[in-house]
Amino acid sequence: MAAGRRRTTAIAAALAGAALTAGLVGGCGAVDKALDCVRTADSVADSVTDLQQAVENASDDPTQADASLDAIQKDLDRIGDRTDDAGVNKAVDHLDRAVAGVRRAIKDGDATPDVTPVTDAAGELTKVCTP
């Protein structure tokens, strides 16, 4: 868990630095959008970590996975409403489909669904948020 948080923090710091650099070149609007993307990608990364743990501990509390999926969906809605970047929108759509797939698996009775598509799509979002 600590290694995942350190990785997420390192990614967020790198993205924030890149966003600030981009802002010096592109103006305040670009900085705001880039930082928004960074914050959301970081929040999604935390929610994905929570989802992975919830799936691992599904026998203890099966509702944790739903709560993690809800948190990811909330972040996706927020970033989707704030960007006009085609790459970010594509990554958001990919992650949205991955979340829907995990939700469907849980609804169909899979107590430990494969969250790899969610993890992969979250990584894609992190990449496109790097200017």
What confidence tens digit (pLDDT) does each residue in 63-119 have?
888 888 888 888 888 877 777 778 888 988 999 999 999 989 988 988 888 999 999
CA 116, CA 119: separation in Å to the nearest integer? 5
pTM of the predicted structure, to 2 decimals: 0.70
Higher pLDDT, 92 or 29: 92
**pLDDT-derived band of residue 4, with 50, 70 and 90 as boundaries?**
low
What percent of the chain lies above the pLDDT cut of 90?
Answer: 14
Q: Averaged over 18-36, what is the pLDDT?
A: 55
CB burial readout 49-80, b (16+ within 10 A) else e: bbbbebbeebeeeeebbbebbebbbebbebbe
How many CB atoms neighbour CB 3 within 10 A? 7
**Mean pLDDT, range 51-57, rounded to an integer:** 83
